[in-house]
Amino acid sequence: MIVTKQWLNEWIDINAIDTDKISIALNAIGLEVDGIHKIRIPQKVVVGHVLSCEKHPNADKLNVCQVNVGESVQQIVCGAKNVAAGQMVAVALIGAELPGGLKIKKAKLRDVESCGMLCSSTELGLPKINDGIMILDDSIGTLSIGKELCEYPLMNDDIIDIGLTPNRGDCQSVYGIARDLSVAFDLEVKVLHQKEEEENQPGVGRVLNLTGSEALDGSYMYKVFDNKEIKTPLLIDLRLGFAEISINCPLGKIVEYSTYVTGVLLRAYDHGCFSAGGDKAKIIINKDENDLDAIFAEGKKVGICGVSQEETCRANTLNTRIIVEANYTHPDIIAVKSANKKLACDKHLYRSSRGSEPHLSFGLNYFFKMLSKYSSVMIYADSQQIMHDYEEKAINVHQSDLTAMIGEEIAKNQVIKILKKLGFGVNFAFEQDVMNIKIPQFRHDVLNMQDICEEIVRIVGIDNITAKPYVFAEKRKTNKAYQDFKKRQMYRHKAVAIGFFETLHFVFDDKQISQKFALPTLSENLELANPITNDFNTLRSSMIPNMLRAVSQNIKFGRKKVALFEVGSVFDAKRNERKKIGFIFSGENALPEVSNHGKPIEIDFFAFAQKIQSVIGQFTLLPLTSTNGLTSPYEAALVLIDGVEAGYIARVNIQIEKEFDLARTYICELDFATLLFEQKVAKEYSKFPSTSRDISLMVPQTMQYATLEKFIQTIAPKELVKFSAIDLFAHENFGENISLTLKLQFQSNEKTLEEEDVNNALISILSSIKEQFGITIR
């Protein structure tokens, strides 16, 4: 909602108050100021009178004007089409500097001297109001030739842009904002004065017949006038420009201007639409097929109250007789009945569904005041109306209720004063110590005691309420969500220490791409109905595609090593949400530095798995046969944490590496719930030294290490405390076999093992292996 200081000043006397103070007050009472724009016409731009206007001898499109600028008459060449003798215009004199930076100098235009410039509104920093130069009139103040325009306050206005919250329908007008602001500054709102209707005017009953069904939701008031000539003054054009409203029809401008000022919904209809050539128009208001109040002419629907108006019946300046309607319907009715109907609507719906001004005669009177001030019209006396009864709501409030909500006592007489100024009726019953508060019709948003409390708080000012700590009973708050938070924090910190960067991606993905990667996607009936773009048209079932794109971007920027991780939500085909942790590592295993001679080796499966293990703790890997389309089937493993399937570790399918321009890349995605977050329990440990032996076995190339590993675990003598594979060595002489080196560690809880004990244990292991698999030492 855009207002200006001078515009507000028509309703409350705020001329003397600094605009910044007005802004602070508006903010303080809950009308947020989004911006202030001060318009200042530069000096040496004066009111001029065009004495004559003749064609330029050497240019078709130029005119040579003699312009009285007060102290002298200046010759000015002007290119505007609308310039004519007799006009009052804005003249930038020699030496003036216009907002665009243009400096006015004496000039020759095609051999004709020009001493100044006739200005358009935009050249002076004002909104665009017409094509060509701006024609001045008395609406901006009495014009006196030669007077500088910067001395006309109505032109040098401060524009205030207010961001209205949707509950404040009552502030959708200049008047409404003035009414609210009047309370902050303790000012009186001015009353609209209107002329008494003359006795000899014909009554509206001669030209209008209004009927309506009984079930109507809204209230309606109609007046009629005969049109001779309708004109709008400069001030209305300027202010509609300030408010960023663009209308061409002068009648439309006055209608819109009156609605904008008063908040009353106004429409103008062509009388002829309703009269079928006769003198008397018949307006019928009935329910339409959507149960909304509609206006009918000759059996045809020509408008829906608060929603739309048929273009064919909208009045324009050519119509000789014009009907003006003011209407009001409770916003909740409009909002509910018009929702989801996909009705064609105009600007009225925005106002009507948030609450327009119910004081209909106020809007009509203002309209006719503006109309008759600048136009030549004959207004019929009286009005015709259908009024919906307003049931006045009242709320009983004890002062102690307010004190409990606010946490501080606001004096009773202050409360009453604030409410009265805001337009509420207040009766105070001394015996019961209760305030009976009557809610005005324009405050449909006030329904209960809390709303009343809000009115008090916003006028008193929240900053004026003392902050007090809340006193509460002690209660332990370490619930599951807290544990999850600590667990997430621990794993995230570990990942960072190992060299992974945390990323954050939208939980959206491109469905086509998900399907291409053979990832689960939402079934159609659960799919997003209104995605924002195709890239985000479904929920992700894996974090990896987003992370792959991030890696790809980083590699494009010249990175040789990219390590990322993310903890977030993914969704399965049934749209069940799960928390996952994803890791991705691409390119070089380390940074180039002196210790690796500037040539760090590329990441490989085992180095990657080792990094993952450093983050999430111990796990076992099993070969994974079926995976999604993201992975290479030859370097993919199922991750088991404590025997539970947690996710996978794999190399990215080389096809995808190529598509994304990736270096060698490994990924890991795990169910976050499977990661452990438990106390570690200390086991008994040996106090005696351990001995280790490396042995190389000739194993078949096809044999999985896990088979051998499991077997050794089952037959291991108690002295074998640990073993692991440390080397693989292939040679052409080995045939179908490969040399696998194991490191075995022996230790006893009872004694220091002798050479002989170790040898016996080793021999027993080797002979079992030989017996089971026929595998021998190399």
Partner 1 sequence: MKEIEKSIETCVSLVELEKIRVSLFGKKGYFAAQFNELKTLEGEAKKEFAQNLNTNKEHFLEILNQKKLFLEAAMIQEEMQKSRVDVTLFNQESSAGALHPVMETMDKIIEYFISMNFSIEEGPLVEDDFHNFEALNLPKHHPARDMQDTFYFNDAMLLRTHTSPVQIRTMLSQQAPVRMICPGAVFRRDYDITHTPMFHQVEGLVVDKTGKVSFANLKFILEDFLKYMFGDVKVRFRPSFFPFTEPSAEVDISCIFCHGEGCRVCSHTGWLEVLGCGVVDPNVFKAVGYKDVSGYAFGLGVERFAMLLHQVPDLRSLFEGDLRLLEQFR
Total chain residues near partner 1 (CB under 8 A):
101
CB-nearer residue toward partner 1: 333 or 712: 333
How would DSSP label each residue in 400-454?
HHHHHHHTSPPPHHHHHHHHHHTT-EEEEETTTTEEEEEEPTT-TT--SHHHHHH
Residues 32-71 that bind partner 1 (CB under 8 A): 32, 35
On whether the CB atoms of residues 421 and 385 are closer than 8 A, the answer is: no
CB-nearer residue toward partner 1: 213 or 448: 448
CB-nearer residue toward partner 1: 81 or 493: 493
Interface pick for partner 1 out of 470, 597, 684, 714 (rule CB under 8 A)? 470
Question: Could you give the C-alpha distances from 360 to 62, 164, 189, 365, 482, in angstroms and in order?
Answer: 49, 23, 18, 9, 57
Residues 319-378 that bind partner 1 (CB under 8 A): 331, 335-336, 338-340, 353-354
On whether the CB atoms of residues 616 and 641 are closer than 8 A, the answer is: yes
On whether the CB atoms of residues 216 and 293 are closer than 8 A, the answer is: yes
The reply on whether position 513 binds partner 1 by CB under 8 A is no
- Which amino acid is it at 67? V
Interface pick for partner 1 out of 344, 378, 394, 462 (rule CB under 8 A)? 462
Interface pick for partner 1 out of 504, 643, 678, 756 (rule CB under 8 A)? 504
Secondary structure (3-state) at 360: helix
List 231's β-bridge partners, or say none: none
List 103's β-bridge partners, or say none: 97
Tell me the CB-side half-sphere exposure of residue 638, using CA atoms within 13 A: 12
Tell me, residue by residue from 112 to 151, as one string, x for binding to partner 1 by CB under 8 A and - for no binding: ----------------------------------------
Residues 587-606 that bind partner 1 (CB under 8 A): 590-591, 593-594
Secondary structure (3-state) at 350: helix
Distance, CA of 241 to CA of 350 (rounded, Å): 20
3-state SS record for 122-170: HHHCCCCCCCCCCECCHHHCCCCCCCEHHHCCCCCCEEEEEECCCCCHH
Residues 525-584 that bind partner 1 (CB under 8 A): 525-533, 536, 539, 546-547, 549-551, 553-554, 557, 559, 562-565, 568-569, 571, 575, 577
CB-nearer residue toward partner 1: 332 or 642: 332
On whether the CB atoms of residues 420 and 319 are closer than 8 A, the answer is: no
Secondary structure (3-state) at 384: strand
CB-nearer residue toward partner 1: 307 or 324: 307
Helix 449-460 / helix 412-421 crossing angle, nearest 10 deg = 90
Tell the smallest beta-carbon distance from residue 460 to partner 1 (Å).
10
Interface pick for partner 1 out of 68, 75, 167, 741 (rule CB under 8 A)? 167
- Which amino acid is it at 204? V
Q: Interior CA angle at 552 toward 551 and 555, to 5°?
A: 85
Distance, CA of 64 to CA of 45 (rounded, Å): 19
Window contacting partner 1 (CB under 8 A); options: 189-197, 207-215, 398-406, 683-691: 398-406
The reply on whether position 507 binds partner 1 by CB under 8 A is yes
Tell the smallest beta-carbon distance from residue 226 to partner 1 (Å).
39
Greatest distance between any 2 Cα atoms in the chain = 134
Window contacting partner 1 (CB under 8 A); options: 27-35, 69-77, 80-88, 243-251: 27-35
Tell the smallest beta-carbon distance from residue 686 to partner 1 (Å).
34
The reply on whether position 387 binds partner 1 by CB under 8 A is no
Q: Quick one: which of 265, 276, 286 has its CA closest to 367?
A: 265
Tell the smallest beta-carbon distance from residue 418 to partner 1 (Å).
13
Structure tokens at 406: 């606010």
Residues 479-498 that bind partner 1 (CB under 8 A): 479, 481-482, 484-485, 489, 492-493, 495-498
The reply on whether position 508 binds partner 1 by CB under 8 A is yes
CB-nearer residue toward partner 1: 200 or 466: 466
Window contacting partner 1 (CB under 8 A); options: 124-132, 136-144, 145-153, 472-480: 472-480
Tell me, residue by residue from 77 to 116, as one string, x for binding to partner 1 by CB under 8 A and - for no binding: ----------------------------------------
CB-nearer residue toward partner 1: 479 or 618: 479
The reply on whether position 27 binds partner 1 by CB under 8 A is yes
CB-nearer residue toward partner 1: 197 or 291: 291
Residues 414-453 that bind partner 1 (CB under 8 A): 448-451, 453
CB-nearer residue toward partner 1: 246 or 569: 569
Distance, CA of 173 to CA of 266 (rounded, Å): 13
